[in-house]
Amino acid sequence: MKRDSCASGKLASAFTPFLLVLAATACGPSPLADLPTNSSVYVEMPDGVRLAVDVWLPDDLGQRGRVPTLVSFTRYWRAPAATPTVEALELMRDAGYAFVIVDNRGSGASFGNREAVWSTCETRDYRHVVDWIAEQPWSNGNVASIGTSYLGNTAENATFDPSPHLKAAVARFTDFDWYASLLYPGGMRNLIITSDWGEGVMAMDQNRLRAERSGDNVLGRRPPDATWTGVKPVDADTTGALLAAAVAEHHNLHITDFFRDVHFRDQVPTASAMEDGCENMVTPYRFQEAAQRNAIPTFHWGSWMDAGTAAGVLARFASYDMPARYVIGAWTHGAYYDADPFKPRDTPVSPSVPGQFAQIFEFLEPYMLGGAPPDPLTPVLDYFTMGEDVWKRTASWPPTGSTTQEWYFGANGTLQRDPPANSAGRDRYRVTFEVGGGPETRWSTQLGGTEVFYGNRAAADSLLLTYTSPPLEEPLEITGHPVVEMSLATTHNDGAIIAYLEIVHADGSVTMITEGQLRLIHHALADSAPYPAFGPHHSYLEADALPMVPWEATRISFTMLPTSVLVKAGDRLRIAIAGHDRDTFERVPAEGEPLLTVYRNAAYPSLVRLPVVAR
């Protein structure tokens, strides 16, 4: 990174912990060298709420001169009382960046309260923090927001109402549509987030830590050997009185209690403009116009094996007209571990964390050093095809050469290319509520970036309704969003359907690839979608709820999570049908054991539409 060892400075802001610094306008020893490497202060927002802010400066600031800044906004404590060494932090400082991390209002050591998750009020704070950064004597005035998971969402949200000093954003593993991406995929309540995560962050807001559901560090993951005893006070708070006063103000929305009674999208106040009240959540898809208008270059990351993060990346890539770069790999949440289902569970992540940051720094450099404006950034997507172990690049989605193959449910648990010709084919399945995805899934990895490992699904499939193809005669690349269409009857007014796309190998072992789900009360199709759905779209609105008529065949269709996988010749495709996932979702219905009827005949066919790419 280019160094500015002769840059002029200015008087430090009154908020700063630093000594008043008047940098010389002529070359000579830089007073920046005397600034502390780490400092922690309060920064006051226009409404009087004070936010706790940690500042980390490069060790060689005196030689570098004023530097660009990366900023993260978190609700997971900007730092614990005993700060561990964090690899990402050291990588940023070594690359010549200052790093600033902020406890969002109502969390950590910050004052205020939280009326919603990702509220408009906390989002409006970001521009003021960026302005404050630009005023500091060590800042060159260029700031980029960065983060993973919740911090990734805040990094993107900062672009909707940006400070003029915000030059770029790096948003990793985010929730494009908080309802459908994570909290209620298919309209089904995700207990891992609405309950487990909710209880964990509520404890952190009160300066407590649930050991079994620990918070994340500055870029999304707590070091496994770190001991956290509480949030770090600011430097001036030598007695802890300010921290206690801040925590006392954290009268926050109780996430678990709130979402326990939520079933429909419109039961949650959601912002359509940044001026909306603090009870409104900011969900990125509703701010596409703002993102495009502000045109802050953004680097989006997602994974095929991480909840709905890949789906969100693809929705943006296919519809946004703005400078951006996109990448989808086969990683855990945050890309801390490899999650390619065809590799051993201990396979080192690729690229490594330093390799990932090398890509981030390459993306950021044109925007952060000043000088001539960079060349316009043309949107491009890099994605990884599992089973082939190959990275690919495309300028459009679906990729060039994509077509659709229909695979129909057939007699005796078969999956066939030909539509059924019989007039009475059907299968019955009694829902068992004792089955699940296991403890290491695309959903559980959202808590701290833990491993994704489904293992051999053969035993689990013995409790499900399965349809399996003959061995493939030639390799088949599936890249995109599979779509399930079923003719289904149930004995209850409501219920759930989960479909897993799997590969059965010659030795009988079964590999999980992707999944899709739908709460049956949401089965009505919407006339339009607010963003590309790449398949049938459901509104999840209360007015569109449509109970099932018991025993009546009903057309059910839903889009599975996207994937990119090469199925080898000799392997077989499988669709496995469940009515519950005990490890992830709320039980629907709350009582009873529904009997499902899956029709597979000429009048009422059931099938999966696979997006395939010619080879």
Helix intervals (H) in 95-214: 120-135, 150-157, 178, 191, 198-205
Look up residue 481 and give its amino acid.
H
**Catalytic (active site) residue 149:** yes
Q: What is residue 336's DSSP assignment?
A: S
Q: What DSSP string describes 487-500? A: EEEESSS--EEEEE
Beta strands at 50-56 and 98-103: parallel, antiparallel or unpaired:
antiparallel
What angle, rounded to 10 degrees, do the helices at 87-94 and 353-368 form?
A: 40
- 325 backbone dihedrals φ, ψ, rounded to 5°: -125, 145
Least Cα distance to 449 among 202, 121, 222, 278 occurs for 222
Catalytic one of 149, 214, 444, 539? 149
Q: Among all chains, which residue has been given the structure tokens 């080898």?
A: 568
Q: Among all chains, which residue has been given the structure tokens 């339009």?
A: 528
Catalytic one of 237, 306, 494, 581? 306
| Four-residue CA torsion sign, 85, 88, 94, 97 | negative
Helix intervals (H) in 78-119: 87-94
What is the token pair recorded at 432?
């068992």
What is the C-alpha separation between 100 and 123, in angstroms, rounded?
Answer: 16
Longest dimension (CA), the chain: 89
**Catalytic (active site) residue 333:** yes
**Catalytic (active site) residue 306:** yes
What is the C-alpha separation between 313 and 326, in angstroms, rounded?
Answer: 7
Q: Among all chains, which residue has been given the structure tokens 């969900």?
A: 283
DSSP helix/strand/coil, 599: strand
Q: Among all chains, which residue has been given the structure tokens 């949650």?
A: 268
What angle, rounded to 10 degrees, do the helices at 150-157 and 120-135 form?
A: 70
DSSP helix/strand/coil, 502: strand
Using alpha carbons, list the distances in angstroms from residue 494 to 81, 498, 523, 589. Answer: 48, 14, 10, 6
Contact yes or no for 486/596 (Cβ under 8 A):
no
Beta strands at 139-148 and 298-303: parallel, antiparallel or unpaired:
unpaired
Least Cα distance to 204 among 227, 228, 186 occurs for 228
Catalytic one of 165, 250, 300, 333? 333
Contact yes or no for 440/452 (Cβ under 8 A):
yes
> Annotated active-site positions, please?
149, 306, 333
